[in-house]
Amino acid sequence: MNINEQYIIIGAGVSGVNAAATLRFEGFEGRVILIDKDHEFPYDRPPLSKDYLSGKIKEEDISLRAHEFFEKNNIELKLGKKVIDIDFDDQYIKLDDNEVIPWDKVLIAMGSKLRRLKIPGRELDNIYYLKTKKDAQQMKKDLKYVDDVVIIGAGFIGSEVAATCRQLGKKVTLIEAETVPLSKILGDYVGNFISDIHHSNGVRLLTNELVTEFKGTKKIEQVVTNTGKQIECQAVVVGVGVELDLSLFDGTKIKVEDGIEVDEYCESNIPGVFASGDCALWPYNGERIRVEHWNHAMNQGITAAKNMMNGKSEIYNTIPYFWSDQHDLKIQYLGFSKDWEKTVLRGSLEKQEFTMFYLNDNKIVSALFVNNPRNVLPTRKFMMRNTKIENISNLADEKRNIKKAFK
């Protein structure tokens, strides 16, 4: 089966690596070429802001697969090679060392990149963006000589880095443009809870502040905000969201918007061309969304691989999900919603153990779990069914088994 075919996967992140592995597990016998511009052996990103940065886990713990895995499974890894051109008519790609490789099918799993702050002083040393292992290694090394850290952006990654820096004994100032951190996706009530957690863990949180300038001679010395605050520091970590670099596709016929548009089989408008992970714009609940979550990247890569082998054989159907570890909070989140009509709280904010349900038209559109892993899978199962909750107050009733509330 497909023995003479050649599949290329662009990007050896969690999505691309799982796609390559799936091709082999499912019995694909042709060539599999996995390409990444990163020189490092494929690794996992979530620990970079958590246990890897804090030093709790080592380099070998963040490999996506054992080193011998790729050779054993005959997956040709090309590391440190950037794809600089892709031709969808003649079906080849070109690498930055000028190698040209033809393909029969291709999976684009290029991920995303971090949005950069384009403000004066941005060229100073000790301003960090945390995306790659190299970024994390550099930060780890430099942080040893730093007392005061400013983190810009109280999103999930910024908050995690703030927590990790506190663990490392740094003085941390976290600057957020919004009035309440994370309120857009979690609402003010939970957003304020997260703020309190930062405060009680010694993070100085400044909200409603925009960073306008970095000051210093060679290294960063001060962060300046729009209200005139000047915050002394020796390091800055920027976590202000991600963006895509889709310039590779300029002038080609692949359909690209805020991501590479794919159908429920992870295939783009060009047959044989697939996309998955952070860079894909995919159908969810009647709209097209893009998410930057680890589980999605893995699972969509897996489904894409199956559909590469056996055209349109498996539909990608999931509930978006991510987790985040901050201070003593194990946060988990299911769904995707920017607005909701109602929220229902199950558990207690004081005890730091609760689930918050976000509902529209009596359907759960998303749910947040704080130190409450037991509720995750029952909720996920229920959301998969896409049905209405009959009696909403049952959701809040902790005496009632959550599975029964979903009956």
Partner 1 sequence: MEGYTCIDKVESFEDGDMDNYKVNGYDILLSCVSGDFYAVEAICTHEYAELADGDLEDYFVTCPLHFACFDVRDGSVKDPPATKSLQTFEVRVEDNLIWISNSPKEVRT
Ligand X SMILES: Cc1cc2nc3c(=O)[nH]c(=O)nc-3n(C[C@H](O)[C@H](O)[C@H](O)COP(=O)(O)OP(=O)(O)OC[C@H]3O[C@@H](n4cnc5c(N)ncnc54)[C@H](O)[C@@H]3O)c2cc1C
Give the residue, chosen from 83, 146, 256, 309, that forms a contact with ligand X under the rule CB under 6 A.
83
- Span of 193-201, 233-241, 307-315, 371-379 interacting with partner 1 by CB under 8 A: 371-379
**65 is a site residue for ligand X (CB under 6 A):** no
In terms of Cβ atoms closer than 10 Å to its own Cβ (0-12, 13-18, 19+), residue 329 is middle
For residue 378, the partner it binds in partner 1, ligand X, none, with Cβ less than 5 to 8 A by kind, is partner 1
Q: Is 69 in contact with 63 (CB distance < 8 Å)?
A: no
Q: Is 159 in the site for partner 1 (CB under 8 A)?
A: no
* Contact between residue 154 and residue 182 where contact means Cβ atoms under 8 Å apart: yes
**Which one of residues 65, 81, 166, 170 is an interface residue with partner 1 (CB under 8 A)?**
65
Q: Which C-beta is closer to partner 1: that of 43 or that of 321?
A: 321
Quick check: 377 binds partner 1 (CB under 8 A)?
yes
- Considering the rule CB under 8 A, would residue 18 count as an interface residue with partner 1? yes
Taking CB under 8 A as the criterion, the residue among 39, 312, 374, 407 binding partner 1 is 374
Stretch that binds ligand X, among 116-124, 176-184, 194-202, 293-301 (CB under 6 A): 293-301
Q: Are 292 and 328 in contact (CB under 8 A)?
A: no
Stretch that binds partner 1, among 139-147, 166-174, 271-279, 293-301 (CB under 8 A): 293-301
Give me the residues that bind partner 1 (CB under 8 A), please: 18, 65, 294-295, 298, 302, 321, 323, 332, 373-374, 376-378, 381
Give me the residues that bind ligand X (CB under 6 A), please: 10-16, 35-38, 45-46, 48-49, 82-83, 109-112, 130-131, 157, 248, 277-278, 292-294, 297, 322-324
